[in-house]
Amino acid sequence: NRGEIASTVSATGSIEPNEELSLVFRSVGTVDDVLIDVGQPVEAGQLLAQLDTTDLTLALANARVAGEISAAQLAKLEAPPDPMDVAAAQAAVEVAQAGVASAEAALASAQAGYSDLFSGPTDAQQVINEAQLRQAEIALSQAQQAYNKIKDQPDAGMFPQAQQLQQATVNYEVAKAQVGKTVEPVTEARRVQGLNQIAQAQSALRQAQAQVVNARNNLDNLLEGPKEEDLIIARAQVKQAQLNQLQAENALTNARLVAPIDGVISQVNIKNGEVANNARPAVVLTDLSQFRMKVLVDEIDVRQVTVGQPVRLSVDALPGGEITGLVTEISPTASNVNGVVAYEVTVVPDETAEPLRAG
């Protein structure tokens, strides 16, 4: 039977926990609650500490509202035009067109009024005026004859014939004045007033025409639907709102410090009410379920070591002073320690009766 051959290699190192995690808040804020103490065992997923989330909650609510608004705006753009909106737009065009007709009539009236300042009655009007004068003369003659028959009566002025004569006389004078009417000199004030009325009517017409153009454009835009660039912008705004909401959700999630693994709390560097500082870990979580030993083996002795090789190590802190283990890793690169070239070798120790401690 062949016996086992043991090789002794002189090397020193330290015992390290299987994993040690430095945990920090990924959101900025004030520490609201610390739920753990040093030495406390925790499970993966357990809440360790939390920031004040008042502002973060409001930011998330705002992001959600903004997302709903942008989505509604996009849906409105993509939807076909509402028949009621189309009818209202068509009615607006008709109202604007009626406004143009009214403004044109007002301008024509102002221009005609200005022209009348410089012109007397037309030939046709003069013929009418002369005919009315002849009628007034006949009526006056008849009224005079009727009055002559009763003029010697007491209180003749109270008889109807007297009143009829008076009215016929007035009508005659008015008709006579119309026939003899001539072009009166136009004062500067009346001329300026007439020009101002024309200018105001022209301005009102331009405004009415502009309203027609706007009303037609609104109707055309409604019937044609949204422009492609408007749709692109609206869709981009929806995506931006979704990203903002996701960012707000992440910020709220990152305000909670949760244990990623089972382990023991080895450091707590935060207190309630202070601002979380990412310059140092808020909590250090250590996995003590398994340890590993890191030893430096010089370049000559490392030739005797291979991955998977069982080893026996001396540990002064344990009763008996020795433990067994397995080589799991040999560093491919060397380190220079005090002028000695050495390689780092990782050994995973077997279970021991006494618990190991890092160091």
Instruction: Report the alpha-carbon distance of residue 102 to residue 96 in Å, rounded.
Output: 10
pLDDT at residue number 180:
66
Q: Which of 144-148, 284-288, 329-333, 353-357 has the lowest mean pLDDT?
A: 353-357
Q: What is the pLDDT of residues 250-309, one digit of tens each?
A: 999 999 999 999 999 999 999 999 998 888 899 999 988 888 888 888 888 888 888 988
**Interacting residues of 243 by C-beta distance below 8 A, sequence separation 6+:** none
pLDDT over 90 at 339, yes or no: no
pLDDT over 70 at 12, yes or no: yes
Instruction: Report the alpha-carbon distance of residue 29 to residue 172 in Å, rounded.
Output: 101
Instruction: Report the alpha-carbon distance of residue 186 to residue 160 in Å, rounded.
Output: 43
pLDDT at residue number 4:
57
pLDDT at residue number 191:
83
pLDDT at residue number 81:
87
Instruction: Report the alpha-carbon distance of residue 252 to residue 270 in Å, rounded.
Output: 19
